[in-house]
Amino acid sequence: MKRIVLWAQGVAFSLGGPGLFLIAFIDASFLSLPEINDILIVWMVTRHKELLLYYVSMATLGSMTGCLVLYWMAWKGGKAVMRRWFHERHIEKGMATFQRYGVLAVLVPSMLPPPAPFKIFVLLAGAARVSWKKFVTAIAVGRGLRYLIEGWLAVLYGEQALTYIESHGKEVGLVSALLVLAGGVGYFWWRARSRQS
């Protein structure tokens, strides 16, 4: 794992923002590189605080593009693609979650730090034929908020932010996801009330 971190760090430092895009794309699509994007955001923002929004944007765009690859595969292949990697029971539970919560079923997991599962929700979104516009928006909001919070911590605490994220990352991710979930539930409740009146 240390070799992969050093390789990713070298790519990101030599290429800057495009390197972050590339690592985030690889992580979101074909390989899983847990926490590497989070570490890179903190390291790079610590060194260039003025580029916070640029780095966050590049990592978010890379993650969105990588997720779209998986989403498209599942859209084309449907449940057959899902069955290659996941048990039928998990697929059915996931599909029921999408039918009940819609795009929130991908937005909330996109904010959670590893080891929370994420790719299964990306694939399920494609198999469930969730609108690609809603899907992209959910990934942009979820990943963008996660990376922005990490970058902001890097501005405030420097490299100590890595220690903070390692110690409290799950709690921060969970609280952020719960806030988004509460906002989503509030929005759906408000929309339902508006339709009734």
Return contacts of 26-31, CB within 8 angstroms, 24+ apart: 26/66, 27/63, 27/66, 28/62, 28/63, 28/64, 28/65, 28/66, 28/67, 28/69, 28/70, 28/119, 28/122, 29/65, 29/66, 29/67, 29/69, 29/70, 30/66, 30/69
pTM: 0.78
Residue 172 confidence class, pLDDT cut points 50, 70, 90: low
- Condensed to tens digits (0 to 9), the pLDDT of residues 126-165 reads 888 888 899 999 999 989 988 998 888 888 888 777 776 6
Domain boundaries, the chain: 2-196
Higher pLDDT, 174 or 156: 156
Question: Crossing angle of helices 17-28/36-47, nearest 10°?
Answer: 170
Mean predicted confidence (pLDDT) in 63-74 = 93
Share above pLDDT 90 across residues of the chain, in percent, rounded to a whole number? 22
Please state, rounded to an integer, the average pLDDT across all residues of the chain.
Answer: 81
